[in-house]
Structure 1
Amino acid sequence: MSRAAQGAGSNYTQPTIEPRDHALGRSRGGLSTKIHQLVDGGGLPLVTLLTAGQAGDSPMLLPLLRQLRIGRQVGRPRTRPDAVRADKAYSSRAIRAHLRSRGITAVIPEPDDQKRHRKNRGSLGGRPVGLDAAEYRHRNVIERRYCHLKQWRGLATRYDKHATIYRAAIILNAVIAWTRQ
């Protein structure tokens, strides 16, 4: 195709970029949205955030933890979990340092590339990450929560244009999960 033919047509329009409040973005499968959730040990959702499909997972952990508030019968709400179970996507020095500073146990495996970089640095690379394998086995609770979430056809395919409506359906799904508990 010649250079003049690419954009010279009268019906040619530039691709539009979705507004940030729609939480839509391009990923391999086309337009998509990522659902980020914190769940308790029983798989019940505590905090939910939405981002565009191409957004990374690990940058959302700290905003999720900032919004965590678990009410108590007496006193201030709890804002610090005992442990965070996550997959390798959440393994970074910044996240581990933040969790360590707040006294939260990180149950996050170290990816192979990070192991290789650490070993290549020798004694400067630091100690290996401690991972409680028995505790990490309980991470399937998170995956099961997402399976329950995707059982709703409207959530699995995202028919809603606006993120507020889509998030409301996710919250409704969470309310139903909590009432069944």
Structure 2
Amino acid sequence: MSDGAGLPLAFTLTPGQRHEAPVFEQTLRAVPLPNPRGRPRTRPKYLAGDKAYSYRPVFRYLRRCHIRPVILPRTGGNMGRGCAQSFHTDLYRRRNVIERCVGWLKGCRSMATRQEKLAVNFAAMVKLAFIRQYLRTISPSDRTW
């Protein structure tokens, strides 16, 4: 999961053959929310995703959290009640930020080749890559590392 600027916020490590939709809620809850000066915690107004997230449980969770889904409907699918039948095209175009974040992660050699075989070590490498990206954002002029 990333923010609108493409900075990674959270991830959930699953086996390679497992679909992401079952861990959607867990990943969304993993994002730390600011609570400045006693104000209520807030969630984003919109959440963009691809067709893989076009399932009733995902839409149900987003509705409970008052988040508007920007998820492409499945084609020819039996969407049924509770699933969005349309989406905001202009907001969906901003989803490329997420794809760039994923592409950047795959550009990190240890992520793409999965050199770490243990899940705990691989998760540590992902967190290290997150930290590296945040440090690049803080000081974009220093590109030596």
TM-score, scaled to structure 1:
0.69
Q: How does 1:1-12 map to 2 (within 5 A)?
A: none
1:88-99 matches, cutoff 5 A: 88-99=51-62
Give yes or no for the alignment of 1:151 onto 2:104. no
Deviations 1:117-174 (A, max 9, x none): 35xx8xxx68862300000000011110011111111110111121111111111111
* 5+ residue gaps, structure 2: 138-145
* Higher relative strand content: 1
Which residue is 1:13 aligned to? none
Structure with higher Rg: it is 1
Q: Which residue of 2 aligns with 1:169?
A: 125
Q: Percent identity?
A: 37
Note the aligned Cα RMSD (angstroms): 2.1
TM-score, length basis structure 2: 0.84
Distance 1:105 1:58 in 2: 17
Aligned in 2, Cα 1:157/1:98: closer, same or farther, shift over 3 Å? same
Whole-angstrom CA distance in 1 between matches of 2:40 and 2:104? 27
Distance change in 2, residues 1:166/1:77 (3 Å) = farther
Give the match's secondary structure for 2:9. strand
Provide the rounded CA distance (Å) in 1 between the counterparts of 2:109 and 2:117. 15
Compared with structure 1, are the counterparts of its residues 126 and 177 closer, same or farther at alpha carbon in structure 2 (3 Å cutoff)? Answer: closer
- 1:108-119 aligned at under 5 Å gives the runs 108-114=71-77, 117=78
4+ runs of 1 displaced by more than 4 Å? Answer: 125-128
Unaligned runs of 5+ in 1: 1-37
Contact 1:68 1:79 in 2 (8 A): no
- Using CA pairs under 8 Å that are at least 6 residues apart, name the structure with larger relative contact order, 1 or 2: 2
Aligned residues: 137
92, 96, 113: which one pairs with 1:140? 96
Once residues 127 and 179 of structure 1 are traced to their aligned partners in structure 2, the CA distance between those partners, rounded to angstroms, is 39
1:178 aligns with 2:141: no
1:44 corresponds to? 7
